[in-house]
A and B are shown apart, each in its own frame.
Chain A
Amino acid sequence: MLVVENLQTRFYTRAGMVKAVDGVSFTLGRGETLAIVGESGCGKSVTALSLMRLVADPPGRIVGGSVRLEGTELLALDEAAMRRVRGKLVSMIFQEPMTSLNPVMTIGRQIGESLVLHEGLSRRAALARSVGLLQLVGIPEPAQRAREYPHQLSGGMRQRTMIAMALACRPRVLIADEPTSALDVTIQAQILELIGRLQRELGTAMIMITHDLGVVAETAERVIVMYAGRKVEEAAVGELFARPLHPYTRGLMNSIPRRAAVRLQEIPGMVPALSNLPPGCAFAPRCPQASAKCRAMEIPYEEKQPGHWAACLYA
């Protein structure tokens, strides 16, 4: 349904050109959940923004690749046509519900906005639908809440509001960018459960962008691991956790604190600056297995086992 091929997004900064997303490809089926996981600066959020064509230009620009949604090439649409896609076919929920909601508009009107825009509803009808949506996402006293402003809601309720807003027009694809990272664990559990339930009920496909392998394990069917703007590994969720092939993925999994007080395995060094990437494999400087070859050549992204891809010479 969604086919992304060789997506390339660059930022032109004073420090030079940065390849934030460098040749990312994937597909997403109807109702499927794909997780994109990685650390700060790996390009996972820019990938999401690129799909929505929301990368600020300047300094950013999508310089290549293709994003096809049910056959329509999104990268070729003009801004007016793209606006008819956002919120209608593809929606996004963000990490920080406080800064992504309009503070001077009631939440009922904010949710109704996309219904007025995309489905031509009257203001009054849109507001009535908003109340129904607030109920759907589990907000108590929805009619009362619809008249309130974002600051009157708790963090969990604001995130529920964003979900209601994103799902108002029953989009085909929901992109969730760290939707629970700013929330407490008990609220996180509520929101993940809510997203999962609505996704099943509405048949929405989802791209879950997160740094939390726990969230990946609990929500995704397939997983892409990104490092320094590129995919380094991709597999079904069970396969990835059982047999991580790329040394970076293994390093990530070993750095998670676990029960026993054994020493944590660290990945030495730090994430490289994208403006100054080493030649060859970007992970080589931190990799325990890296050889001279890794530092010299372009590493092919290959199917190592059926359905399990990795970019590593030694996987």
Chain B
Amino acid sequence: MPSVLEVQDLKTYFPVRKGLLRRTVGHVHAVDGVSFSIGAGETLGLVGESGCGKTTVGRSVLRLIEPTGGTIRLGGRDITRLGRAELRPFRREMQIIFQDPFSSLNPRMRAGDIVGEPLKVHGAVPGAERRNRVAALFARVGLSEAQMDNYPHQFSGGQRQRIGVARALALNPKLIVGDEPVSALDVSIQAQVINLLTDLQRELGLAYLFISHNLAVVEHISHRIAVMYLGRIVEHTDRETLFRKPLHPYTEALLAAVPVPDPAARRAKRVLQGDVPSPLHPPAGCHFHTRCPYAEARCRSETPRLREIEPGHHVACHLR
């Protein structure tokens, strides 16, 4: 499968400024050497807890945040250092769906204009045809043409997220980054949006980078999954393997922590102790060693590389 997106050794650092002169006193390594690729029709799930850098990966890939290092290839072309104008044609090919359907739609624009905006900005479809195109997009995501003239506040959360999906689809992108696209929705509505995304992928061969903290959702929608902890990928493999045979102690703990909707499965579980350390001062060596039940001396000093332990199963742990 040819890759739609190829990311190599992506690094995004944020400066930390202090004092009157706002001098840079250090850097937060939000994304610290992340590599992956996504093929057409494929979904890569990116999971991790708050502050692990998953959102920053998504935004860096789209060049909404400037990456500090590494390369991003979209359809084989290196877009990492393209200027604004050069990047424009590539922007059409990659779109984003945001988490919050309330703050990501302009409250003063009609829903139809919101969805038509990318067509206008990119001059993709002339004015007269635009309304038809938008109507088709509305129909595709399960909204009616009559709703095009309504304002965002007239829609429910699930419908707003459909508007977000329609907007992302407007320019026929190849890649869609979903940043927690269903996390703000009720479960019954969440299922509707997940099914919509799955159908669209099958029809249009879209590549998805699906960012979420919800393991059940990620498991349902992804083909492959990468687990992040404090800016690094700690495990990366196909869905079945990850859930059947997690190898990294963090993945293991993460899976064990998810409450299972089955009272018969209630069990005494080993709960991971402590908080996620501050990304400003991550622990030396393996970032996870402060919470890892198996950590050894080596884990505290030496950073584990992401190694292919079994075919297609990458793990960053000294002990595996």
Chain A: residues with CB nearer than 8 A to chain B? 39-40, 154-157, 184-190, 192-193, 211-218, 237-238, 241, 251-259, 261, 263-268, 270-271
Contacts and interface: CB of A to CB of B under 8 A. Distances in A.
A257 B265 CA distance: 17
A239 B221 CA distance: 30
A5 to B, nearest CB: 28
Nearest to A210: B259
B271 A190 contact: yes
B259 A217 contact: yes
Interface of B, helix, strand, loop or mixed by DSSP: helix
B188 A261 contact: no
Nearest to B269: A189
Contacts of A155: 50
A258 B260 contact: no
Given A189-B259, A270-B189, 14 more contacts: A40-B186, A157-B275, A185-B254, A192-B259, A217-B266, A238-B264, A241-B261, A241-B263, A255-B191, A259-B243, A263-B198, A266-B188, A266-B192, A266-B195
Interface stretch (B78-86, B209-217, B298-306): B209-217
B213 A216 contact: no
A57 to B, nearest CB: 26
Contacts of B256: 189
A237 B263 CA distance: 7
A256 B216 contact: yes
B270 to A, nearest CB: 9
A227 to B, nearest CB: 10
Shortest 10 CB-CB distances between A and B: which pairs?
Answer: A214-B259, A257-B220, A184-B49, A255-B191, A267-B188, A189-B257, A39-B186, A264-B191, A213-B261, A266-B191
Given A259-B243, A266-B191, A270-B159, A186 B253 contact: yes
A91 B194 CA distance: 38
Given A39-B187, A185-B213, A190 B272 contact: yes
Contacts of B194: 257, 264
B208 to A, nearest CB: 14
B257 A185 contact: yes
A188 B273 CA distance: 11
B262 interface: yes
Nearest to A268: B192
A154 B264 CA distance: 33
Contact of B257 (A188, A255, A259, A263): A188
Contacts of B49: 184-187
B117 interface: no
Q: Which of B192, B269, B273 has the most CB of A within 10 A?
A: B192
B156 interface: yes
Contacts of B272: 186, 189-190
Contacts of A214: 216, 258-261
Contacts of B200: none
B220 A186 contact: no
Nearest to B276: A184
B190 interface: yes
Q: Which of A186, A237, A263 has the most CB of B within 10 A?
A: A186
15 contacts: A154-B276, A184-B49, A186-B49, A188-B259, A189-B271, A190-B271, A190-B272, A216-B261, A217-B266, A237-B263, A241-B264, A257-B194, A270-B189, A271-B186, A271-B188
A186 B189 CA distance: 25
B266 A187 contact: no
A271 B257 CA distance: 30
A238 B260 CA distance: 13
Contacts of B66: none
Contacts of A211: 186-187
Contacts of B195: 263-264, 266
A218 B259 contact: yes
Nearest to B50: A184
B186 A193 contact: no
A254 B191 CA distance: 9
B219 interface: yes
A152 to B, nearest CB: 12
B261 A253 contact: yes
B158 interface: yes
Nearest to B222: A261
Nearest to B244: A259
A90 B308 CA distance: 54
A258 B254 CA distance: 16
A247 to B, nearest CB: 12
Contact of B216 (A187, A257, A261, A265): A257
Contact of A215 (B189, B191, B259, B264): B259
A268 B213 CA distance: 25
Interface in B136-192: 156-159, 186-192
B265 A187 contact: no
B8 to A, nearest CB: 28
Nearest to A237: B263
B191 A265 contact: yes
Contacts of A39: 186-189
B217 to A, nearest CB: 5
Nearest to B255: A185
A252 B50 CA distance: 27
A190 to B, nearest CB: 5
Given A190-B272, A216-B261, A217-B263, A270 B50 contact: no
A252 B188 contact: yes
Interface in B259-314: 259-266, 269, 271-273, 275-276
A238 B221 CA distance: 28
